[in-house]
Amino acid sequence: MRVLVDVGVGRFAEEALRQEGHDVLSVREVDPRATDDAVMRWAVEQGRLLITTDKDFGEMVARGREAHAGVLLLRMEAAGGPEKARVVCTILREQGESLVRRLAVYRGGRLRISG
């Protein structure tokens, strides 16, 4: 799967996704100071699922003001890198293509997919 990993998700998740065979582009590696609009534009232009911890992306999609290729919002504020990596890999393994062009929110051990 083609994914764009936002800065707050972290290196552990980036590497874990690469090890599982995903095509990973990292905001941290491209431009860690990029605006939300630029990040969303990269995801759309390249057909990548955006994986983020930034609630602003969820709001952009939920309000319908932004085109998107899919957003996975992780509400895991207290989680460390290894836990985020485990959760992200599990979600992509189990849900994969069902996340494309959808908004998915992971919180408290539950995944909600809408759109």
**Which residue segments constitute the domains of the chain, with CATH numbers given?**
2-114 (3.40.50)
Neighbouring-strand partners of residue 73: 52, 105
* pLDDT tens by residue, 55-83: 999 888 888 766 889 999 999 988 999 99
What integer is the mean pLDDT of 31-41?
94
Sign of the Cα torsion 20, 24, 29, 31 reads negative
* pLDDT tens by residue, 14-27: 999 999 999 999 99
- Mean pLDDT (the chain, rounded): 94
Residue 94 has pLDDT above 80, yes or no: yes
